[in-house]
Structure 1
Amino acid sequence: MTIAALIYGSGIDPALVLEKVVAKLRQRGVALAGVIQHSGEDCSMTLELLPSGLRIPMSQSLGAGSAACRLDSGALAQAASLVRKEIDTSPELVVFNKFGAQEAAGGGMRDEMLRAVMAGLSIIVPVRDSLLPQWKEFVGDEFVLLDCDPEAVLAWWDAQMQHSIT
């Protein structure tokens, strides 16, 4: 089991990185679980469940002028439940869309991340550089820092596979 944190700052969209990584790993036949995020031009969000490809809308309409969080907590709970079921199938790798504000506050997919780690599964999680202290508080020192770049992630995965063979 290895935890890979993909560190990113402003100007980097971790969702695009994960899309590329997941596409390459699917081509290789890697058994995946978890979620990747897709954002629409209208600021809408969907989570794509792995490996099924099912997409769950995560945004709720709050009306004009609202400044509140648009995250649909019911949809997030549904997605988390489905991710837990996939983790229980013992995939080779669990992908999480990010360790964001929800996870830093103790919610979001935090329990699913913990479940995957406790099951001995390798995970990859993008972490915004500003949330690195909360991330370290959550996982301690038991993680690998990677650039939020598809080539870096794939090289890490290849090294994991080499290590597991020897």
Structure 2
Amino acid sequence: MEAMPIAAVIYPADYNPSPLLADFAQELKAAGVRLVGAVQYDNGPMETCGIEFEVLPTGQRMGLSQDLGAGSNACRLDPNAMADAAALIKQGISAGAQLAIFNKFGAQEAGGDGLRAEMIDAVVAGIPLLTAVPERFTAEWNEFTGGESASLAMTADALRQWWQALNA
């Protein structure tokens, strides 16, 4: 059976898929695979708004959270940083890539925002898509993909096997 070109790691609320996807992206980049998208790095506790993206393929890192100031115990997505990341990703899609990796199909994407349009652009350009989806957004993910996606285990081996099957 042929591998599906759209795949997601479906994960529970207590799991952080960021290191899995970031490590996989680094592994593929080292092997010479042309990537596009964005992977997330958590540079400290969420209370300190330590969320950073690496935009693929540029390698540029950017903070995506706005610090809401003293007394706040939350962060807010920085719309300007998200727009900058989206523009770089669109350029990468136009340049061509072998794989699109997006840190997650989360609340923003489930609601029609975030990097949802860039995910669509990658698929329309014929670039396979890999992401992570919180269990609570499984219905929105299935609607987004029309139910046409592979569900992968939360392991590096599962990601490698899917990638190898795509390229067999």
Q: Distance in 1 between matches of 2:75 and 2:68?
A: 9
- The aligned amino acid for 2:51 is M
The corresponding residue for 1:7 is 10
Q: Which residue of 2 aligns with 1:35?
A: 38
Cα distance in 2 for residues equivalent to 1:160 and 1:29: 16
Normalised by the size of structure 2, how large is the TM-score?
0.91
Cα displacement string for residues 18-71 of structure 1 (whole angstroms, at most 9, x for unaligned residues): 122112211221111110011121331111011221101111111123366521
2:145: which partner in 1?
A: 139
Residue 22 (structure 2) aligns with: 19
TM-score, normalisation: structure 1: 0.92
In structure 1, runs of 5+ residues without a counterpart are none
1:126–1:148 CA contact under 8 A, matched in 2? no
* Structure 2 residue 47 is matched with structure 1 residue 44: no
- 1:43 and 1:149 map into 2 onto residues whose CA distance is 27
Residue equivalent to 2:59 = 53
* Pairs within 5 Å for 1:72-151: 72-151=78-157
Measure how far apart 1:130 and its partner are: 1.0
> For 2:75 and 2:61, how far apart are their aligned partners in 1?
20
What amino acid does structure 2 have at the position aligned with 1:19? A
Aligned equivalents of 2:72 and 2:136: distance in 1? Answer: 25
Q: How far apart are the structure 1 equivalents of 2:25 and 2:10?
A: 17
CA contact (8 A) 2:39 2:101 kept: yes
1:88 is displaced (CA, Å) by 0.8
Using the alignment, how far apart are the partners of 2:82 and 2:34 within structure 1?
Answer: 23
CA distance in 2, matches of 1:68, 1:105: 20
Task: Name the Cα RMSD after superposition.
Answer: 1.4
Code of the aligned partner of 1:72: D
Amino-acid identity (%): 42
Q: Secondary structure at the match of 1:127?
A: strand
Q: Secondary structure at the match of 1:124?
A: strand
- What amino acid maps onto 1:161 in structure 2? N
